[in-house]
Amino acid sequence: MKLATVRTASGTQAARVDGERCDILPWRDVGEVLDIAENQGKGWVELVDETDPMDSVELASIDPAPVILQPRKIVCVGLNYAKHITEMGRDLPQYPTLFAKYPEALVGATDQIVVAPESDSVDWEAELALVVGKSVRRAGTDDSESAIAGFSVLNDVTMRDWQYRSPMWLQGKTFEKTSPFGPILVSPDELPGGVRPALQISTDVNGERMQEAVTDDLVFDPPSLVAYVSTIMTLRPGDVIATGTPGGVGHARKPARYLNAGDTLVTTIEGIGQLRNPVVAEGI
In the chain, the amino acid numbered 9 is A
Residue 280, classed as helix, strand or coil, is strand
Is 103 in the same domain as 224? Answer: yes
Is 80 in the same domain as 144? Answer: yes
Q: What digits encode the pLDDT tens for the residues 15-45?
A: 999 999 999 999 999 999 999 999 999 999 9
Is 14 in the same domain as 148? Answer: no
Which pairs from 175-178 meet CB under 8 Å and 24+ separation?
175/105, 175/116, 175/119, 176/104, 176/105, 176/114, 176/116, 177/104, 177/105, 177/107, 177/111, 177/112, 177/113, 177/114, 178/105, 178/107, 178/113, 178/114, 178/115, 178/122
Under-70 pLDDT residues of the chain:
88, 284
Residue 257, classed as helix, strand or coil, is coil
pLDDT at 85: 85
Is 35 in the same domain as 147? Answer: no
pLDDT at 283: 82
pLDDT at 284: 59
Is 87 in the same domain as 223? Answer: yes
pLDDT at 148: 98
Helix or strand (DSSP H, E) at 205: strand 200-205
CA dist 122 and 132 (Å) reads: 28
Domain boundary among 15, 31, 65: 65
Is 45 in the same domain as 85? Answer: no
pLDDT at 88: 67
pLDDT at 271: 97
pLDDT at 55: 95
Is 98 in the same domain as 216? Answer: yes
What is the domain range of residue 74? 68-281
Would you tell me how many other CB atoms lie within 10 Å of the CB of residue 14? 27
Strand-pair partners of 109: none
pLDDT at 120: 96
Q: Nearest Cα to 85, choosing from 210, 218, 222?
A: 218
Domain boundary among 50, 65, 80: 65
Is 145 in the same domain as 206? Answer: yes
pLDDT at 116: 95
Is 79 in the same domain as 139? Answer: yes
CATH number, domain of 142, equals 3.90.850.10
- Number of structural domains in the chain: 2
Quote the distance between the C-alpha of residue 192 and its chain's center.
Answer: 18
Is 79 in the same domain as 33? Answer: no
Three-state SS letters, 71-111: CCCEEEEECCEHHHHHHCCCCCCCCCEEEEECHHHEECCCC
Is 59 in the same domain as 121? Answer: no
Domain boundary among 65, 92, 121: 65
Whether the Cβ atoms of residue 241 and residue 226 lie closer than 8 Å to each other:
yes
Q: Are strands 273-281 and 113-115 parallel, antiparallel or unpaired?
A: parallel
pLDDT at 245: 95
CA dist 125 and 74 (Å) reads: 15
pLDDT at 274: 98
Is 133 in the same domain as 218? Answer: yes
Would you tell me how many other CB atoms lie within 10 Å of the CB of residue 58? 9
CA dist 8 and 12 (Å) reads: 6
